[in-house]
């Protein structure tokens, strides 16, 4: 090695991707840089007539272990990490080490290697770069003095600055350091992702058949440290199953904790179709929810029966969340309904066997760790961009919300129902409005761009729930062999006033009945709906116009909680006063996406 002069700067080059390498080396030589290179990098540059010394010229140590150890040496890293301070200069002088000014490095192709269909663990291990990562991190750490180049696209920019200014600006070094840190972070993430799949399947990583749609492959669920907070006891969860499960579980956990009762949720496409507390069923409820008079029930079973029963059409094929250990009564009811799976903190042995037998053993049963606490910061990706925010862990205390209406007669039951509705909205796709009564959601309008459409949709669902309790519905005589989903469909057409009048739909509809029920008249509908009262409503944000209040009142709403902040607040509150509604100001907006 020819010794570099005290003023000659040194660049060390160690790259796998050799794109643009020769032009960079020529440019550095032209600007009086001393070049050091490792392995194949030095060989390629030297073969093309460019002067370069091997790294071993300064380490006084040959490459070893088949190339696994090349640049890991104090002569290299001391030269990179040294700062422009007297103590560091003295250390280098005493050890005869020269400062290194530029590090050019990119890493072994681990990502490309593991993409091969026949890759072995040994193949993957050999592509884990050690020296390169250390070079990158050392140079990036000391970017106040050292320039780290990890991307061939930056070669020309570096040479331009050297030729024009005889130095590289601090701003450019900062950007290059960030790029190097991102390079190593992505590299490490790829490695850990590979070994999670190899060494920790079903523990910290779970492979899925596909994503939201069958053509979206390479789907998985994983945590970056520790174990997944749930275990798969039966079946094979899909991507959307897990979206439902992991949104519905915190809902029932929070609701049960807030009101000290078992809670259940029926989820479809990342919003609840129903949410309820485990309160006893009336005889009417048993009938409209298809529960036998002598069926064995429990508080948890009641919670799910009510959650599922509020909107049976939307709950068809749901994912279930239960706050408590699943008992036999609950499992037996679940076994009768069409659903995709269930998540709960535990299962009685007999209950688990009942659920495992559902769908010929393919029914998805998840056991969640009730003590799991997610990271307080959550991150998601949209179109390649990461969005980050603090998790919405606010606790709602409806009883302390400020009453801003003339009527201040807030009942204990209304506090319970407003709590049910508000917590449900916290986990519902916005915009959303929720109607609740007697400890259960009876109508939920989710994911609408217009607030009045949320209020109308939720109100129509609440009306549907109420009309299903009409004596004419309870007295329906069904044709033999009609299944529960078919009954639910027929009832839905009947109570919403959409009875088919044209063939062949008319005959299909009438075939479900032993005696076809007579449709409601307008006066009958008005009279029955007038008996629905003491309904509570929560909105995930303010009402922009009073029309929401008037629509809610038509479905028996007597209690409303919503945020304020609209220019129309006073008009909205005046509308509530005109309907003698108790209106509470929710200090927390509850958007969820």
CB 72 within 8 A of CB 130: yes
Separation of alpha carbons 25 and 155, rounded Å: 10
Q: Which two tokens stand for residue 177?
A: 């350091």
**Closest C-alpha among 307, 310, 287, 311 to residue 299:** 307
CA 382 to chain centre: 11
Tokens at residue 173, please? 């070094």
Helix (H, G, I), strand (E, B), or coil: what is residue 141? helix
Token output for 483: 């299944």
- 349 CB contacts (<8 Å, ≥6 apart)? none
Q: Is 143 known to be catalytic?
A: no
Q: Do the strands 102-105 and 147-149 form a parallel or antiparallel pair, or are they unpaired?
A: parallel
Rounded to 5 degrees, φ, ψ at 282 are -80, 170
**Cα–Cα distance measured from residue 165 to residue 257, given in angstroms and rounded to the nearest whole number:** 65
> Beta partners for 205?
201, 222
The two structure tokens encoding residue 454: 């949320």
* DSSP structure string for 78-147: HHHH--SSHHHHHHHHHHT-----EEEE----HHHHHTSTT--HHHHHHT--SHHHHHHHHHHHTTTT-E
Q: How far apart are CA 377 and CA 381, in angstroms?
A: 14
Residue of 18, 26, 111, 141 marked active site: 141
| Residue 293 a catalytic site member | no
How far, in Å, are 245, 436, 543, 584 from residue 414 at the CA level?
28, 9, 20, 11
| Sequence-distant (≥ 6) Cβ neighbours of residue 590 within 8 angstroms | 392, 422, 425, 426, 430, 432, 538, 540, 541, 563
| DSSP bridge pairs for 539 | 433
**Could you tell me which residues come within 8 angstroms of residue 333 by beta carbon, excluding any fewer than 6 positions away?**
291, 295, 301, 304, 305
Neighbouring residues of 214: CB distance < 8 A, sequence distance ≥ 6:
none
Cα Rg of the chain, angstroms: 33
For the chain, how far is it from start to end, CA to CA, in angstroms?
Answer: 62
The answer to whether the beta carbons of residues 258 and 419 sit under 8 Å apart is yes
Give the other-Cβ count within 10 Å of 503's Cβ: 8
**What dihedral angle (degrees, nearest 10) is formed by the CA atoms of 466, 467, 471, 472?**
-170
Which two structure tokens, joined as six digits, stand for 66? Answer: 């088949």
Which residue from 166, 168, 218 is spatially nearest to 193, judged by alpha carbons?
Answer: 218
Considering the candidates 18, 26, 175, 269, report the single residue annotated as catalytic.
269
Active site residues: 141, 269
């Amino acid at each position: 090695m020819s010794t570099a002069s005290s003023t000659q700067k040194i660049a060390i080059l160690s790259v796998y991707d050799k794109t643009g390498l020769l032009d960079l080396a020529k440019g550095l030589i032209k600007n009086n840089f001393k070049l050091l290179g490792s392995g194949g990098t030095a060989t390629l540059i030297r073969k093309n007539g460019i002067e370069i010394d091997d790294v071993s010229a300064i380490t006084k140590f040959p490459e070893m272990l088949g190339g696994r150890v090349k640049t890991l040496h104090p002569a290299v890293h001391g030269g990179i990490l040294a700062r422009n301070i007297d103590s560091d200069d003295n250390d280098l002088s005493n050890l005869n080490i020269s400062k290194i000014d530029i590090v050019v490095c990119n890493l072994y192709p681990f990502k490309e290697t593991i993409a091969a269909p026949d890759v072995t663990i040994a193949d993957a291990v050999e592509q884990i770069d050690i020296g390169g990562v250390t070079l990158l991190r050392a140079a990036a750490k000391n970017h106040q003095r050292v320039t780290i180049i990890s991307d061939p696209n930056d070669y020309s920019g570096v040479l331009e600055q050297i030729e024009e200014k005889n130095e590289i600006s601090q701003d450019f070094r900062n950007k290059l350091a960030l790029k190097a840190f991102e390079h190593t972070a992505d590299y490490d993430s790829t490695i850990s992702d590979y070994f999670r799949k190899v060494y920790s399947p079903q523990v910290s990583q779970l492979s899925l058949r596909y994503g939201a749609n069958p053509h979206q492959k390479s789907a998985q669920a994983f945590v970056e440290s520790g174990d997944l907070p749930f275990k798969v006891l039966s079946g094979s969860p899909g991507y959307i199953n897990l979206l439902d499960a992991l949104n519905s579980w915190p809902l029932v956990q929070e609701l049960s904790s807030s009101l000290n009762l078992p809670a259940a949720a029926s989820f479809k496409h990342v919003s609840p179709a129903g949410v309820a507390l485990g309160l006893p069923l009336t005889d009417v409820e048993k009938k409209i929810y298809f529960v036998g008079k002598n069926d064995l029930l429990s508080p948890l079973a009641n919670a799910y029966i009510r959650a599922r029963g509020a909107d049976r059409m939307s709950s068809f094929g749901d994912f279930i969340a239960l706050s408590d250990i699943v008992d036999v009564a609950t499992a037996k009811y679940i076994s009768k309904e069409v659903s995709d799976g269930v998540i709960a903190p535990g299962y009685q042995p007999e209950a688990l066997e009942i659920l495992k037998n559902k769908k010929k053993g393919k029914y998805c049963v998840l056991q969640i760790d009730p003590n799991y606490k997610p990271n307080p910061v959550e991150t998601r990706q949209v179109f390649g961009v990461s969005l980050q925010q603090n998790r919405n862990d606010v606790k709602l205390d409806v009883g302390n919300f400020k009453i801003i209406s003339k009527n201040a007669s807030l009942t204990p039951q209304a506090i319970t129902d407003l709590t049910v509705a508000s917590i449900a909205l916290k986990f519902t796709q916005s915009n959303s409005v929720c109607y609740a009564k007697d400890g259960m959601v009876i109508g939920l309008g989710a994911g609408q761009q217009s607030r009045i459409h949320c209020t109308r949709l939720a109100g129509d669902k609440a009306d549907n729930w109420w009309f299903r309790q009409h004596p004419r519905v309870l007295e329906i005589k069904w044709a033999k062999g009609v299944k529960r989903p078919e009954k639910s469909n027929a009832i839905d057409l009947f109570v919403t006033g959409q009875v088919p009048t044209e063939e062949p739909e008319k005959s299909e509809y009438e075939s479900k009945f032993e005696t076809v029920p007579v449709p409601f008249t307008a006066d009958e509908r008005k009279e029955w709906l007038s008996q629905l009262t003491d309904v509570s409503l929560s909105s995930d944000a303010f009402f922009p116009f009073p029309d929401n209040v008037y629509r809610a009142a038509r479905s028996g709403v007597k209690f409303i909680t919503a945020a304020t902040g609209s220019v129309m607040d006073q008009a909205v509150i005046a509308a509530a006063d005109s309907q003698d509604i108790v209106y509470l100001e929710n200090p927390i907006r509850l958007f969820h996406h």
